[in-house]
Structure 1
Amino acid sequence: MGSFVFTVMNDIITTMFNKKFMEELFKPQELYSKKALRTVYDRLAHASIMRLNQASMDKLYDLMTMAFKYQVLLCPRPKDILLVTFNHLDAIKDFVRDAPNILNQVDETFRQLIDMYTCLSAGEFQLIRQTLLIFFQDMHIRVSIFLKDKVQNSNGRFVLPISGPVPWGTEVPGLIRMFNCNGDEVKRVEFTTGGNYVSPQREGSFDLYGDRVLKLGTNMYSVSRPVETHMSGASKNLASHTKENAAPNPLAKEELNFLARLMGGLEIKKPNGSEPGFRLNLFTTDEEEEYAALTRPEELSYKVINIQATQDQQQNKELARIMGEFEVADQPSQSISKGDDLLAMMDEL
C-alpha cells in the first residue's frame, strides 16, 4: 500500500509542477474563474492511477477551498501569504525527497516564486490577498475539523482569533503615543485590548530553505495543532509555539498516513493483464456517499468523467483516448506530455 501512495503522490506532483504548466501560471493574467479552477483541480486529482467519483471529488474540493480560504483569511500580514505557499511547497518537497527529478521541478518553482514575489511591496501583497478573499467570499462550507477546533461557526464563517502573536514588524496593542509638531513624544495612554497578544519571536524565512515560523499552510491533521488555531492565553500560545518549533516536522508522515487511511477502503480490482484500479471514497460508507451525491445542490456539482480502467481499450476508441491522457509511465516524456495536455485544456477554458 505504501508504494501505491508514493506512486499517486509522485504522479500528481509531477503533473502539477510541469515546466510549461508553471510557465503559463506565472504569466500576468486575470484570476481564473471558479469553473476553470475546478476543472484544473479535477485533472490534477486524476493525474495518477487514483480515481474519485463525483461525490468524493466534491468533498475533496470543498475541503481544499475552505482550508485555503482559512489560511489566507488568518494571515497576520498580507506578505505572509508567501509563507503559507512556502509551507505548502516544503510539505510537497518532503513527499518527493527520494525522487530527485521531481524534487528539481518543485525547487525550480520555488525559485520562481522567490524571484517574482519577495520583492513586492506590502500594498501589492494586500491586493493579492484581497483578490483571493473576494474569490472565496461566497464559500461558507462547513468542515468538520474546523468545527471541532471551534475556528468555524455553524454558518460556515471563520472565527478570527483575538489573541496570540501580532504580525511581524508591529507592536503589541495597548499603548497610544502622542507627538507634537516637532515629532517629540509628549504623552502616553494605555488601554485594555480585550485580548492576550505577544510579540512574534522572529520573522519567517523567505529563502529556499528555512524556518517559516508561521504554521498556516502546514498539515491540518497533525496531532499538534498550529498555534494560530488556538485562542488561549499568551503563555499557552508561547509554550505551544516553542514546543512545535522543537518537534520534528510531521508533515510527510501524517499526510501519507492520512492518504493511506483513505485508501484503506479502496476497491481494488485486478483484471487479467491489466494494472490494479483504484476507487477512492472519502465517505465512511457507500450509503453516505450516495446520499451526499443526491442531496448536493446542483449549482455546487460538477461533471466528472468516470473511467473504467478494466475495459478493453480496443473496444472503445474514445475511452482509449481518454485513458491515454491519464496514463502513468516512468519515462519523463510522459509527464511532460501530461502537463502539455493540462496546459491545452486550460487554454480552452
Structure 2
Amino acid sequence: MTEKALPLLYLNMAGEMMYILDQRLKVSAEFTAGDEKSKSEKVLKDIILLVLGKSTLDEIFKTKMIPPKKNLKIVFEKLAHASIMRLNENSMDKLFDLMIMAVKYSMVKVTMAEQILTVSINHLQGIQDILPTDLDVRNAIEHAFTMYCSLYRPLSVQHWHLVRTSILQYLAGVHIKISLLLRDDRQSPEGVFVLNREDVAVQLAPDMDQVPIGTVIYYQNGKRVEEKDEHFEVKFKYEPYKNLPDQLNVPERSTDMGENWYKKHGSLRIQGGGGIGKNEVGYKAGNEMKFLESLMSRDLSTNKDLDSEIMAMSLFDDPTEEKNYIKESEEWYGKIMKIDATKNRKSLKSTIEEKTGGSRPSSADKKGATKKSKGAGLLELMDEAAARPPTAKPRRGTSTESSSVKPKSRSGSRPKERAPSASAPKRAGSAKKKAAAN
C-alpha cells in the first residue's frame, strides 16, 4: 500500500501550504494597501488551480513511490511559485517544515487509520474556504474530491493501516518545534507530540463505548461474570466516535485534524531549527520523479509580463527571526551523522576472494578438473599399452603374438566390431558351411 500513500501525503501537505500562504498574505504589508487584496486572491487562485489541476493530480496518482523529502520540497517550491509571489530559500525551508510537521501531527493524532481520508477532505474544504466564491476553485475542489473518494473509500481497514504506516515511516525522525503546538501544549519542549491532554476529551474508536473506560471484566467458562467487574479511575476524558458523513460543505466531521489552525492563532514561528528538505541527504531519484520533471518543464506563467509584477514575500516577521532560524537549523543539521555505505560496498565475488584468500576458480577450471577432454582417455590407454613389459600376461581374448587394446566407449563398454566390408575375404569356416549345404 506504499503506492497509495503519496496522493494523501501530497494533498494534506498542499492544504497546509495554502493555509500558511493565505495567512501570510493577509498580514503582509505588501498585500494590504489599496487594490493589493485582488493581487493576493490572484496569487492564491493561481496556486490552487495548479495544485489541484487535473494534469497535476493525474501525475500524483500515477506515481507509486514517495520521493525523498529533498525532491518533494522542490515540487512544492515549484507549486508555491506558480504565480507572481516569490519566497526566498529560507522562507521556503520554513514553509516546508511547517507543512510536514502539521501533516505528521494529523497522522499521529487520528483515532483510526480510516480517518486519514477525513483529514484530507478537511484540507479540501479549508482550501475552498480561502476563495469560497470562486467558481474555478470550486470545480477543482469537487474534481479532486471525486478522485480521492473513488480511490480510497473502497480500501479495507488493513490497507488503511498500511497506508498510515508508510506515511509515518516517511516522516519518522522529524521533530521540528512549532510555536503554535508548543503554546497549545500539543508538543513538548523536546519536539515530541502530546497526544492526550486532561482538558480535552479523547475520541474512542467505533463500538468502544459499549463498556465504560476503566472497567475490568472477568470471564469464566467463556461467560462474563458481571458481579466480579472492577472499576478504576482514568486520567483522561473520553467521548464516543462521531460517525459523521465525509462530504464537502458539511458543518462537522468525525475529526478536526486538517482544519485551518491559522484562522485562530496566526503563528508561523518555528523553534529549534529545521530545514528538513534542504538538509536531507540526497540520493538519485528513480521513475517516481517523472512528476517533478513534468512540473519543471511546464511553463507555469501564462502572462509574459508577470516578471514586472513579481513580489517577494517572507515568512519571517523580521531579519532577526530569520537569522535565528538559520542558526538553529545549522545546529540541528550538525547533529546528524551521515554514513555513506556505498564507498566500502563489495561485490559477492570480491567478498569470497577476501574470505578464501585467493581468486575463486572459474566454471571452466572446475570443468577441466573433473572431466577430461575428448580423446584424453584413449591416449592414456594407448600409453598404458605401450608401456606394458613384454613378459606381462596377455589379456583374455588376445594372442601371444600380438596384443591390442580396444578403447572403451564413454559408457565404459568396449565398442562393437565393425561389419566386414564387401571387399574383405570371407572366413574359411563360412565357405565350408556353404559347400556342405549344397
TM class by shorter-chain length? Answer: 0.5 to 0.7
Provide Cα deviations, 1:272-307, integer angstroms capped at 9, x if missing partner.
996433111111212432453455339969xxxxxx
List gaps (5 residues or longer) in structure 2. 1-35, 267-304, 335-438
The answer as to whether partners of 2:205 and 2:240 remain within 8 angstroms in 1 is: yes
Of the three residues 276, 282, 292, the one matched with 2:315 is 282
- Secondary structure of the residue aligned to 2:72 is helix
- Secondary structure of the residue aligned to 1:26 is helix
**Aligned position for 1:79:** 114
List gaps (5 residues or longer) in structure 1. 226-271, 302-349
Provide Cα deviations, 1:95-133, integer angstroms capped at 9, x if missing partner.
233221232122111011112112212221111111111
- Secondary structure of the residue aligned to 1:51 is strand
- Secondary structure of the residue aligned to 2:261 is coil
CA RMSD of aligned residues (A): 2.7
The answer as to whether partners of 1:10 and 1:102 remain within 8 angstroms in 2 is: yes
The answer as to whether partners of 2:204 and 2:241 remain within 8 angstroms in 1 is: no
What amino acid maps onto 2:246 in structure 1?
F
**Residue 214 in 1 paired to residue 249 in 2?**
no
**Aligned position for 1:186:** 225
**Aligned position for 1:142:** 177
**Residue 88 in 1 paired to residue 123 in 2?**
yes
**Aligned position for 1:18:** 53
Separation in 2, partners of 1:40, 1:273: 21
How do 1:221-300 and structure 2 match up within 5 A? 221-223=262-264, 275-293=308-326, 296-297=329-330
Separation in 1, partners of 2:328, 2:237: 43
The answer as to whether partners of 1:83 and 1:204 remain within 8 angstroms in 2 is: no
Per the TM alignment, residue 77 of structure 1 is displaced from its structure 2 partner at its CA by: 1.1
Give the % identical residues: 30
The answer as to whether partners of 2:47 and 2:82 remain within 8 angstroms in 1 is: yes
Cα pair distance change 1:28/1:192, threshold 3 Å: farther
Separation in 2, partners of 1:273, 1:80: 41
**Aligned position for 2:97:** 62
The answer as to whether partners of 1:96 and 1:102 remain within 8 angstroms in 2 is: yes
Separation in 2, partners of 1:66, 1:273: 33
What amino acid maps onto 1:95 in structure 2?
I
**Aligned position for 1:167:** 204
What amino acid maps onto 1:16 in structure 2?
V
Separation in 2, partners of 1:136, 1:79: 19
Separation in 1, partners of 2:311, 2:56: 26
What amino acid maps onto 2:117 in structure 1?
L
Separation in 2, partners of 1:83, 1:285: 37
* Comparing 103-112 and 20-29, the one that deviates more: 20-29
**Residue 33 in 1 paired to residue 68 in 2?**
yes
Separation in 1, partners of 2:264, 2:225: 50
Separation in 1, partners of 2:191, 2:262: 19
Per the TM alignment, residue 202 of structure 1 is displaced from its structure 2 partner at its CA by: 2.5
Cα pair distance change 1:39/1:193, threshold 3 Å: farther
What amino acid maps onto 1:185 in structure 2?
R
- Secondary structure of the residue aligned to 2:216 is strand
Of the three residues 108, 125, 128, the one matched with 2:163 is 128
Cα pair distance change 1:44/1:298, threshold 3 Å: farther
Separation in 2, partners of 1:129, 1:157: 19
Separation in 2, partners of 1:224, 1:299: 26
Per the TM alignment, residue 14 of structure 1 is displaced from its structure 2 partner at its CA by: 0.5
Quick one: higher RCO (CA 8 Å, sep 6+), 1 or 2?
Answer: 1
**Aligned position for 1:44:** 79
Separation in 2, partners of 1:193, 1:40: 50
Cα pair distance change 1:28/1:274, threshold 3 Å: closer
**Residue 105 in 1 paired to residue 140 in 2?**
yes
Separation in 2, partners of 1:157, 1:273: 43
Separation in 2, partners of 1:3, 1:62: 28
TM-score by length of 1: 0.66
Separation in 1, partners of 2:78, 2:307: 22
Provide Cα deviations, 1:302-322, integer angstroms capped at 9, x if missing partner.
xxxxxxxxxxxxxxxxxxxxx
* Comparing 168-177 and 8-17, the one that deviates more: 168-177
What amino acid maps onto 1:167 in structure 2?
L
Separation in 2, partners of 1:4, 1:281: 16
Per the TM alignment, residue 5 of structure 1 is displaced from its structure 2 partner at its CA by: 1.7
Cα pair distance change 1:193/1:29, threshold 3 Å: farther
The answer as to whether partners of 1:204 and 1:214 remain within 8 angstroms in 2 is: no
**Aligned position for 2:355:** none
What amino acid maps onto 1:161 in structure 2?
N
